[in-house]
Amino acid sequence: MDAQTPAPEPVPFRSPDGSLGGVESRVMASVIAAASDVALVVDDEGVIRDMAIGSAELAEDGAADWLGRKWEDTVLPDSRHKVLELLSDGGKWSGSPWRQLNQKTGRGDVAMRYLAIRAGPGRGTIAVGRDARGDAALQQKLIQAQQAIERERLRSRQTESRYRLLFGLSREAVLVLDAGSRTVIEANQAAEKLLGRTGLVGKSLLQLVDPEERDRLLGFLGAIGATDDAPPARIRLADSGTEVRIGGTLFRQGGSSFILLRLGPDAGTEGSELGPVLERVPDPFVVTDAAFRIVEANMAFLELVGHARREDVAGLGLAQFLGRPGVDFGVLSAQLEEHRVVRNLPTIVRPRFGPAIEVEVSAVLVTEGHRRLGGFTIRPIAGDRARITAEMASPRSVEELTELVGRMSLKDIVRESTDLIERLCIEAALKCADNNRASAAEILGLSRQGLYLKLHRHGLARDPNEDKDGKAS
């Protein structure tokens, strides 16, 4: 309804004397009682002389106790002036609005809405009342619902603000596409920088790639719609001819389908010819970020560690696969930080399944713009070469022991030096005792069994059939 249009006035009976003049008072009383929760007959002094209670709930609340009392005494103090207004305006049908009063009952306060009508000279006023507790409860629920909606709106605005901030500041290039039309709905600054264009919103993704790449792109988008784990693709851009890596996820919102695309330089080579070459290198190769988290890996590395897809290892620390826990990788990273290059470092790879694999690692740490990347070439060592490498890794003299500085931590070097001294002492005792183990044990102050265990530990027990006294069985 227009705010300037006046509200319609109540329409009374056209000829009440003719149509209702013969109605008995009992019938009129029944109609009034049925149309209200409580009906009061109030005399000119404001005293309730008669009443009808149509609500069982009001009857249980003790509304009958109002009979014979002044109406203004049956309400709370804040409602007394409303009672006086109802009684004074009761003769004006068109100007007598419904008024809400707070009635006092034996069970507490009750909200009531009343309409008062003068019954005639000397006949007092008829007050028709309706229980407003249901309306008050409904109004309270409405207020609570409105407050909940406002809280949700505020939370939604805050969430959207955080999303916009993260989306805009993200260093990863991200596009949001309409899945049906493949047009760009949203694009962050990183995407505009990578694609070399501004104003991407509203443009078709097919316009941004090389025409020869469009069929491959359509196949990739179709794969995203068909499966949740579609592998990334490499697409050449239209303007620069640069090849980028593209991955995507399908999601639905508001009954529509969208695609979230993530774009990045291809394997860190940014359009060079090295990408296809490194992919075909037979030795495992890994590119990491400054924190030595895996950025890219070739298929040879995936086969070595037992993973099928690059996404399975992307973002994981290289230390999860390379080196003995807490030892080798710490030495390797320290050498890289200091010298930027490490060559042929013997260590192990811990694959997803199966035993550890002996390898040699060569690595380089480079700085490209504001990024620092690590490149690791890993060569598995097979057969006798692995055994020889393992033996060479164990120091046999003080000179070899000092060469471990820089390759191992001080704690591990001290442990190796203790083992070296122990082995040299055992060899000297055996030489003095002419290989008689019982005598050698006495020289060293060990039990025969203790010496026997140490011989096995250091690989000096060449004949397993000899007994603990050093004699063949």
Q: What is the mean pLDDT of the chain?
A: 79
370 inside domain: yes
Same-domain check for residues 296 and 357: yes
Same-domain check for residues 406 and 421: yes
Same-domain check for residues 384 and 399: no
Q: Using alpha carbons, select from 256, 283, 261 the residue that is nearest to residue 363.
A: 283
Domain-terminating residue out of 370, 393, 416: 393
74 inside domain: yes
139 inside domain: no
Q: CB atoms < 10 A from the CB of 25, how many? A: 7
CATH of the domain at 49: 3.30.450.20
DSSP state of 9: P
Scanning 375-468, the segments in alpha helix (DSSP H) are: 383-393, 398-402, 410-432, 437-444, 448-457
Same-domain check for residues 119 and 74: yes
153 inside domain: no
Q: Which of 148-152, 164-168, 329-333, 334-338 has the highest mean pLDDT?
A: 148-152
- Condensed to tens digits (0 to 9), the pLDDT of residues 56-106 reads 888 888 888 899 999 999 999 999 998 988 888 754 554 457 888 999 888
The pTM of the full predicted model, rounded to 2 decimals, is 0.37
310 inside domain: yes
Strand 256-265 with 294-297, pairing: unpaired
- Condensed to tens digits (0 to 9), the pLDDT of residues 111-160 reads 888 988 888 777 888 899 888 887 778 888 899 999 999 999 988 888 88
343 inside domain: yes
pLDDT at position 71: 92
Domain that holds residue 336: 281-393
323 inside domain: yes
φ, ψ at 89 (rounded to 5°)? -100, 5
Same-domain check for residues 367 and 441: no
Q: Which residues contact 453 (CB under 8 A, 6 or more apart)?
A: none
DSSP state of 394: S
Same-domain check for residues 409 and 463: yes
> 326 pLDDT band (50/70/90 cuts)?
low
Number of domains in the chain: 4
Q: Using alpha carbons, select from 381, 374, 389 the residue that is nearest to residue 356.
A: 381
> What's the CA dihedral at 170, 174, 175, 176 to 10 degrees?
-70
